[in-house]
Structure formats: C-alpha cells, structure tokens
Amino acid sequence: MTATIIDGKAVAARLEGELRGQIAALSARGIRPGLVAVRVGNDPASEVYVRSKARKAEELGLNGTQEHYPDSISQDDLLAIVQRLNSDPDVDGILVQLPLPSRINADLIIESIDPAKDVDGFHPISVGRLHLGRKTLIPCTPAGVIRLIESTGTAIRGSNAVVIGRSQIVGRPVAALLLQRDATVTITHSGTKDLAAICRNADIIVAAVGRPMFVTADMIKPGAVVIDVGINRIDGSSPAAARIDPDSRKGRALEEKGSVIVGDVDFEPAREVASWITPVPGGVGPMTIVMLMKNTVEAATERRR
C-alpha cells in the first residue's frame, strides 16, 4: 500500500472558489470584508506570515491590511489599537500576530479582541463556544485539518482518532472538532504511556507535537489517515536528518541548502502504511490561510445580519 497524498493546495483552491462566491454576494450588497493583521517588532517569520495573509485577502477581494508597530510599543498602546479596531465598522476580522514581546501579556491582548472579530479563534469566548459545540469562529489550522480529512471521503463518525499534542492552538481544538463529528478521540502528549500502541489503534492520526519525524511507520495502523501539522526546520546535525534518504528530494535539498523543512511524521516510510497522508510543506499550511479568509467572510456576514 502506498498512501494517496492529500494536496492541501488543491483543497485550499476549492475552498477559495466557494469563498469567491460568498464575497461576490457581499460585494453586491456593498460590503467588502475587512481584515487587519497587527504585527509588533521585526520577527522575520511573523513578517512573512502577515504579508502572506494580507496578500491572500487582497487576492480574494477582501480589504486586507497590516499594521506594524515597533518592538518598543507599550502594552497599553497595543490595547488601545485593538480597541480602535474593535470600534471600526469597516473591520470584520482582527488578528494579532504572535509571538509578542515577552513584556506584553499576550493573553490580555487576545482577550481584548471583540469575539465577533476574533478570526484566529483564540479568544476565551471563542474557545468556550467551540468546546460547547456552539457556532463560533474556529481556529484556522484545526479547521483546515478537518477539511483535509473530509476531502478524503473518510468517515469521521465512529472512527478512532489520535491527536498527538495538546496545545491550545492545534491539539485541543482539533480534538473538539473531531468529537463534534462523533469520532472517539484520544489526546496524547509527552506524558502518555505506550504512545505507539495507542497510535496503532487509530483510524485517524493528527500529529501536532512539534518534533521532527516523531511519528514513525511502526506507529501507524495500516490504512490510517495521517495529518501532519508539524513544520520543523532541521540541519544535518539533527538526529532526524540521518533518516532522510540522501537520494530523495529532501535529501538533496538538505545537501544543497544545509537545512530542510520536515513534518512531525517520518513521511516516506509512513506513506507505505497509511491510506492518506499530508506532505510537509503543501499539506496543512495552505489550509490555514484560506480558513482565516473563511473566518473573515463569516464574521462580515454575521455582523451584518
């Protein structure tokens, strides 16, 4: 058995097509959904993420803007900025790019965002509504994970699902979404005993542990669906690098560039066991941004009912 690759770019493109229709309907009513990304400091990764989000928003016909502030901004000033955006009728979605400088209480900033505009789905009210199974803006990566699983035609209802990782951003919300779809869900973590045995009973594995190539082929039940959320950059000194075939595409990239991005799953061996599997990159990543756009469109629609 060789698993079919779940093409996140293709699934994202189909969702974009759906969104364009919804955006056109809003435009006919004179509504252009507005998304504002707030970035503090000069973290290179944050700059790339925010720029890509704003670019995708504009590409789809949303009003996507970013506001960049120096690392020296005070917590009070940042709170005032969020309050200004909360009050702006043209802003439907607000995201504050993390991480923030350590002296700023990130929880306080997130909690200051109007839940109706919380397109990241991180506000405690959003989190609470998600776990209660009520309508809310769902965190983007978990929502994308579910869309990828559904794209395979796999029945989530009645399946055994294992989530590796218990973060508030991915692991726990993914588990909540799977539970809502009637899966039997096990959340595993660093303290889980005999993790491999638990995984081998899973029809669906969502790996979000942040450890390169952590999930090996012998942990996967034949025919399982494997969703790899991990994004880990490794160089030749990483223990995981020794498991990369030097003649493979990633092996050649590692040799040429000195580093390569891998997921939380040992992809090539895992592909020989699973029925469906996401690649890294090109799997979950493309879904995260398009789900952010979906949340913005939903927020704009709900705010104008």
The span from the CA of 44 to the CA of 97, in Å, is 12
Q: Catalytic residue numbers?
A: 53, 97, 120
The distance from CA 262 to its chain's CA centroid, rounded to whole angstroms, is: 16
DSSP-based three-state secondary structure for 209: coil
Comparing CA positions, the residue from 150, 163, 138, 156 lying closest to residue 288 is: 138
- Count of residues in the chain: 305
How far is it between the farthest Cα atoms of the chain? 57
Q: Alpha carbon of 279 to those of 9, 16, 157, 160, 186: distances in Å?
A: 11, 20, 24, 22, 23
Q: Alpha carbon of 84 to those of 108, 113, 261, 289, 290: distances in Å?
A: 16, 10, 38, 24, 26
Q: Alpha carbon of 161 to those of 89, 164, 174, 274, 301: distances in Å?
A: 41, 10, 10, 14, 33
Comparing CA positions, the residue from 166, 279, 168 lying closest to residue 231 is: 279
